[in-house]
């Protein structure tokens, strides 16, 4: 989404150029504090990495593919200042060398994609990491959320710049809806890839993940040599590698873990789990239950709280139908007199509370039906198997 020349008018282009220059100057100072004289080679190599990783294609489905934008990833891996610098340099080189993004739009592009994305992502990441328990999974989850929000945030920033100096005669509302809508989708992909990548780095070199410093640092652990005369603990530890595949397998292969990131912690701590508990099979079940609870909490949060702020205007399809007069023929829904009609609880006057309550009830009902079906199916399968035996 590199902005070309002529999309934003000259005064606003110059103004954003000043903003971008200021941000880069601050980042230069900050990066020198973070990396001292190692700044140039390290930031240069990380910029080259961002440049390369933007060319890595992630297939989505049916021939389409996406690629990483890298702002959130850079912020989490090397810190906000260096992150801003790296992405800015990538944008600068893309503009000057490859004519990708206009020269006068460089300020817009840097403000939007380098500064807003990186700063928003890092702020969210640090907040989550600080509040949540200091574990490796926290880092993965925090990078997911940070990347997820940073991309639409950049879209919002772009809309703001467009509102100030856009040359096209398209209403702000339309631009906002289109940009944020598309970038929420892009953000989901970005979030998944960022979380997986950060997870991969944390698993191997946790010390390199700038945002996770002080989180993943484990106290020094003194291990006795396996050759030392039979310490009782040594036997258990020697068994740990053998137990590893057993713990790892169900978690990765299980159909319930839709997101590979959740499998990460179980594979990561087999030694600890194995030396503590003799039966390693317990681990995946516990993690599945965690996923279940987290999912329930997220769904309730979305339904109950986020819907407070959801737009009261009809959604896309309803609006199109309304505009085109399709809905004139529409008959009233059979359930329109139900207590939850039109996503609000009947006898509660406050629209927001009512909507939120309806959301919570809806989640509960869906969950009840879904769990019911699941339990019935499982029981039937169990009886069928026992019947066969």
Partner 1 sequence: MGAGHAHKLYREGRSPVHALPPHCKIAAVFCFVLVVVSTPREAVWAFGAYAVLLAGVVAVARIPAGYVLRRLLIEIPFVAFAVLMPFIAEGPRVEALGMSLSESGLWSAWNILAKGTLGVAASVLLASTTELRALLLGLERLRMPSLLVQIASFMIRYGDVISDEMRRMRIARQSRGFEARGVRHWGVLASSAGALFIRSYERGERVHLAMVSRGYTGTMPVIDDVTASRAQWLYAAALPLTALVVCLTGWMLP
Residues 256 to 275 in contact with partner 1, rule: CB under 8 A: 260
- Does an H or E element contain 59, and which? strand 57-61
d(CA 260, CA 193): 11
Identify which of residues 89 and 360 has a Cβ nearer to partner 1 in the complex: 89
- Which residue in this structure is represented by tokens 């009947």? 346
Q: Which stretch binds partner 1 (CB under 8 A): 58-66, 143-151, 232-240, 311-319?
A: 58-66
Under rule CB under 8 A, residue 59 binds partner 1: yes
Give the contacts of 330 (CB within 8 A, at least 6 positions apart).
321
Identify which of residues 210 and 357 has a Cβ nearer to partner 1 in the complex: 210
Identify which of residues 140 and 247 has a Cβ nearer to partner 1 in the complex: 140
Under rule CB under 8 A, residue 44 binds partner 1: yes
**CA angle 5-10-12, nearest 5°?**
105
- Please report, as residue ranges, which positions from 221 to 250 form the binding site for partner 1 (by CB under 8 A): none
108 touches 154 (CB < 8 A): no
d(CA 164, CA 16): 11
75 touches 211 (CB < 8 A): yes
Identify which of residues 186 and 358 has a Cβ nearer to partner 1 in the complex: 186
**Of these, 22, 41, 295, 372, which contacts partner 1 (CB under 8 A)?**
41
- Please report, as residue ranges, which positions from 354 to 383 form the binding site for partner 1 (by CB under 8 A): none
Dihedral class, residue 36 (left if φ above 0, else alpha if ψ from -120 to 50, else beta): left
d(CA 144, CA 269): 21
**Of these, 23, 180, 201, 215, which contacts partner 1 (CB under 8 A)?**
201
Q: Which stretch binds partner 1 (CB under 8 A): 97-105, 120-128, 213-221, 303-311?
A: 97-105
d(CA 370, CA 314): 28
- Going by C-alpha positions, the residue among 253, 256, 260 that lies closest to residue 288 is 256
Identify which of residues 70 and 355 has a Cβ nearer to partner 1 in the complex: 70
**Of these, 33, 130, 134, 205, which contacts partner 1 (CB under 8 A)?**
205
- Please report, as residue ranges, which positions from 61 to 80 form the binding site for partner 1 (by CB under 8 A): 61, 68, 77-78
Identify which of residues 239 and 269 has a Cβ nearer to partner 1 in the complex: 269
- Closest contact distance (angstroms) between CB of 165 and partner 1 is 11
Under rule CB under 8 A, residue 40 binds partner 1: yes
Q: Encoding tokens for residue 38? A: 């190692």
- Please report, as residue ranges, which positions from 6 to 25 form the binding site for partner 1 (by CB under 8 A): 6-7, 9-10, 13, 24-25
- Please report, as residue ranges, which positions from 102 to 131 form the binding site for partner 1 (by CB under 8 A): 102-104
Could you count the other beta carbons within 10 Å of the beta carbon of residue 169? 5
Under rule CB under 8 A, residue 165 binds partner 1: no
- Going by C-alpha positions, the residue among 129, 142, 148, 144 that lies closest to residue 213 is 129
d(CA 267, CA 118): 30
Q: Is 117 exposed, middle or buried (0-12, 13-18, 19+ CB in 10 A)?
A: buried
Q: Which stretch binds partner 1 (CB under 8 A): 86-94, 144-152, 285-293, 363-371?
A: 86-94
Under rule CB under 8 A, residue 324 binds partner 1: no
**Of these, 72, 89, 120, 360, which contacts partner 1 (CB under 8 A)?**
89
20 touches 85 (CB < 8 A): no
- Closest contact distance (angstroms) between CB of 26 and partner 1 is 12
Cα dist from 59 to 65, 70, 189, 193, 263, whole Å: 4, 17, 10, 11, 21
- Closest contact distance (angstroms) between CB of 71 and partner 1 is 14
355 touches 310 (CB < 8 A): yes
198 touches 144 (CB < 8 A): no
Under rule CB under 8 A, residue 343 binds partner 1: no
Under rule CB under 8 A, residue 37 binds partner 1: yes
| Site pattern 166..185 for partner 1 (x: CB under 8 A) | -xxxxx--x-----------
- Closest contact distance (angstroms) between CB of 214 and partner 1 is 19
d(CA 185, CA 1): 14
Identify which of residues 247 and 257 has a Cβ nearer to partner 1 in the complex: 257
Identify which of residues 253 and 351 has a Cβ nearer to partner 1 in the complex: 253
């Amino acid at each position: 989404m590199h902005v070309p020349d002529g999309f934003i008018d000259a005064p606003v282009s110059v103004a954003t150029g000043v903003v971008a220059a200021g941000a880069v100057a601050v980042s230069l100072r900050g990066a020198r504090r973070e990396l001292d004289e190692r700044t140039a080679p390290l930031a240069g190599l990380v910029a080259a990495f961002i440049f390369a990783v933007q060319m890595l294609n992630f297939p989505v489905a049916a021939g389409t593919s996406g690629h990483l934008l890298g702002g959130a990833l850079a912020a989490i891996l090397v810190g906000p200042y260096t992150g801003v610098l790296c992405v800015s340099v990538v944008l600068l080189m893309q503009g000057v060398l490859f004519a990708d993004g206009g020269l006068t739009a460089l300020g817009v592009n840097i403000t939007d994609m380098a500064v807003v994305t990186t700063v928003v992502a890092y702020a969210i990441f640090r907040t989550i990491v600080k509040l949540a328990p200091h574990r490796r999974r926290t880092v993965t989850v925090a990078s997911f959320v940070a990347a997820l929000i940073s991309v639409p945030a950049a879209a919002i920033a772009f809309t703001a710049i467009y509102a100030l100096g856009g040359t096209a005669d398209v209403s702000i509302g339309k631009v906002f809806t289109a940009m944020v809508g598309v970038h929420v989708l892009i953000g989901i992909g970005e979030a998944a890839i960022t979380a997986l990548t950060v997870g991969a780095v944390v698993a191997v070199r946790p010390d390199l993940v700038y945002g996770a410093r002080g989180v993943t640092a484990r106290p020094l652990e003194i291990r006795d040599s396996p050759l030392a005369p039979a310490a009782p603990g040594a036997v258990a530890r020697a068994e740990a590698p053998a137990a590893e595949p057993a713990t790892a397998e169900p978690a990765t292969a299980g159909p319930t873990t839709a997101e590979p990131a959740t499998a990460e912690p179980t594979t990561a701590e087999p030694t600890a789990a194995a030396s503590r508990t003799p039966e390693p099979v317990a681990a995946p079940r516990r993690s599945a239950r965690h996923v279940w609870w987290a999912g329930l909490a997220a769904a309730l949060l979305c339904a109950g709280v986020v819907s407070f702020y959801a737009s009261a205007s009809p959604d896309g399809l309803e609006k199109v139908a309304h505009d085109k007069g399709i809905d004139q023929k529409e008959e009233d829904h059979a359930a329109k007199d139900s207590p939850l009609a039109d996503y609000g609880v009947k006898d509660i006057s406050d629209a927001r509370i009512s909507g939120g309550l309806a959301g919570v009830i809806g989640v509960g009902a869906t969950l009840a039906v879904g769990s019911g079906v699941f339990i019935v199916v499982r029981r039937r399968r169990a009886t069928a198997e026992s019947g066969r035996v």
